[in-house]
Amino acid sequence: MTVTGFAFLFLLVGLVIAQTSCDNYGVQNGSACNCPTGFGGATCASPGCGGDIFQSGRALAPQQGAFPNITTCACESGWGGAGCNVCQSSSACQTAYSSSGSAPSSAQSVTGSETGENSTLVCNSAAQVYAASQMSCSVVNPTLQAIFPLNTNLNIIRTLQPGLSPLPNATSFGTAGTVFASLFYAGVEQFYCLADSCTQDLTGGDTNWDCQNLKCNCITNTTFCGGGAEDITGAIDTLSGSLSIDCDNSTTCAFKEATLQALFGSAGLSLTGCMFGECVAQSVIDSTSGNSTTSGSTKSAQLSGGVIGGLAVVGGLLLIALLFLLLGLLKQRAARRVKPDLADGSRVAVEWARVSYVVHGLGSRSWLGKRAKGAEDDKVVLDNVSGRVAPGQMMAILGPSGAGKTTLVEILAGKRKSGTTTGRVSFPSAGGAPPRIGFVPQQDVLPPMLTVYEALLFGARLRLPENVSDEDKRTRVEGLMETLGIASLRNVRIGWGGDVGGGKARGISGGEMRRVSIGLELIASPDVLILDEPTSGLDSVSASRVAKVLRAIAHDSENPIPVIASIHQPSSQLYQIFDSILLLSHGRALYSGPGAFAPAEHFASAAAGIAPACPQGYNVADYLLEVASDPPAALFQLPRTNSVPEWEEGDRSEKGSAESASAEKRAASNKHSKSAGRQKYAATFLTQLQRLSGREWKILRRDKTLFFTHVAVSSVLGVFCGGLYFKTGITIAGFQSRVGCLFFLGALIAFSSLSALYNIVEIRPLFLRERSSSYYSPTAWLLSRLIFDVIPLRIIPTIIVSTITYWMAGLAHDAAHYFKFLFILVLYTLAMTLYNFLLGTFFHNGGVAILLSALSALYQMTFAGFFVHLNSIPPVLRWLQWLCPLKYSLEALAVNEVGSGLMIQDTLQGVPVDVSASLIMNLLFGFGENNYYRDVLVLFAFIAGFGLGVIGIVWLKVRERR
Ligand X SMILES: *[C@@H]1O[C@H](CO)[C@@H](O)[C@H](O)[C@H]1NC(C)=O
- Which positions touch ligand X (CB under 6 A)? 34-35, 37-38, 40, 48, 53, 55-56, 58, 64-65, 69, 71-72, 115, 117-118, 168-169, 186-188, 220-221, 223, 283, 286
Q: Least CB distance from residue 202 to ligand X, whole Å?
A: 21
Residue with Cβ nearer ligand X (155 or 223): 223
What is the distance between the alpha carbons of residues 80 and 85, in angstroms, rounded to a whole number? Answer: 6
What is the distance between the alpha carbons of residues 920 and 902, in angstroms, rounded to a whole number? Answer: 11
Q: Least CB distance from residue 102 to ligand X, whole Å?
A: 10
What is the distance between the alpha carbons of residues 464 and 457, in angstroms, rounded to a whole number? Answer: 10
Q: Going by C-beta distance under 8 Å and a sequence separation of 6 or more, which residues neighbour residue 922?
A: 262, 928, 929
Residue with Cβ nearer ligand X (59 or 307): 59
Closest CA to 763 of 741, 789, 743: 789
Cα dihedral 377, 381, 385, 388 sign = negative
Q: Least CB distance from residue 80 to ligand X, whole Å?
A: 17
Residue with Cβ nearer ligand X (113 or 673): 113
Residue with Cβ nearer ligand X (223 or 737): 223
Q: Least CB distance from residue 723 to ligand X, whole Å?
A: 53
Q: Least CB distance from residue 52 to ligand X, whole Å?
A: 8
- C-alpha distances (whole Å) from 918 to each of 740, 926, 929 are 15, 10, 7
Residue with Cβ nearer ligand X (55 or 916): 55
What is the distance between the alpha carbons of residues 863 and 283, in angstroms, rounded to a whole number? Answer: 65
Count Cβ neighbours within 10 Å for each residue of 740-749 and write b for 16 or more, e otherwise. Answer: bbbbbbbbbb
Residue with Cβ nearer ligand X (151 or 779): 151
Q: Least CB distance from residue 143 to ligand X, whole Å?
A: 20
Q: Least CB distance from residue 146 to ligand X, whole Å?
A: 18
Q: Tell me the β-bridge partners of 194.
A: 180, 215
Residue with Cβ nearer ligand X (163 or 501): 163
Name the helix (H) or strand (E) containing 452.
Answer: helix 452-463
Q: Least CB distance from residue 168 to ligand X, whole Å?
A: 5
Closest CA to 632 of 605, 648, 608: 608
Q: Tell me the β-bridge partners of 278.
A: 124
Name the helix (H) or strand (E) containing 821.
Answer: helix 815-842
Region of residue 862 (phi > 0: left; psi between -120 and 50: alpha; otherwise: beta):
alpha
Q: Least CB distance from residue 65 to ligand X, whole Å?
A: 6
Q: Least CB distance from residue 56 to ligand X, whole Å?
A: 5
Residue with Cβ nearer ligand X (38 or 391): 38
Q: Could you give the count of Cα atoms lying within 13 Å of 44 in the half-sphere of its Cβ?
A: 24
Residue with Cβ nearer ligand X (69 or 798): 69
Name the helix (H) or strand (E) containing 905.
Answer: strand 903-908
- 534: helix, coil or strand? coil
Polymer length of the chain: 962
Cβ burial of 606 (10 Å; 0-12, 13-18, 19+) is middle
Q: Least CB distance from residue 259 to ligand X, whole Å?
A: 24
What is the distance between the alpha carbons of residues 165 and 174, in angstroms, rounded to a whole number? Answer: 12
Residue with Cβ nearer ligand X (69 or 918): 69
- Which amino acid, one-letter code, is at 876? V
Q: Least CB distance from residue 119 to ligand X, whole Å?
A: 9
E strand map for 25-127: 27-29, 32-34, 39-40, 46-47, 63-64, 67-68, 79-80, 86-87, 121-124
Q: Least CB distance from residue 192 to ligand X, whole Å?
A: 15
- 407: helix, coil or strand? helix
Residue with Cβ nearer ligand X (151 or 332): 151
Helices (H) and strands (E) in the chain, counts: 30, 28
Q: Least CB distance from residue 92 to ligand X, whole Å?
A: 15
Residue with Cβ nearer ligand X (49 or 780): 49
What is the distance between the alpha carbons of residues 120 and 806, in angstroms, rounded to a whole number? Answer: 60
Q: Are 354 and 647 in contact (CB under 8 A)?
A: yes
Residue with Cβ nearer ligand X (34 or 777): 34
What does the DSSP assignment read for 296-364?
-HHHHHHHTHHHHHHHHHHHHHHHHHHHHHHHHHHHHHHHHHSPPPPP----B-EEEEEEEEEEPPGGG
Residue with Cβ nearer ligand X (54 or 735): 54
Cα dihedral 804, 808, 811, 814 sign = positive
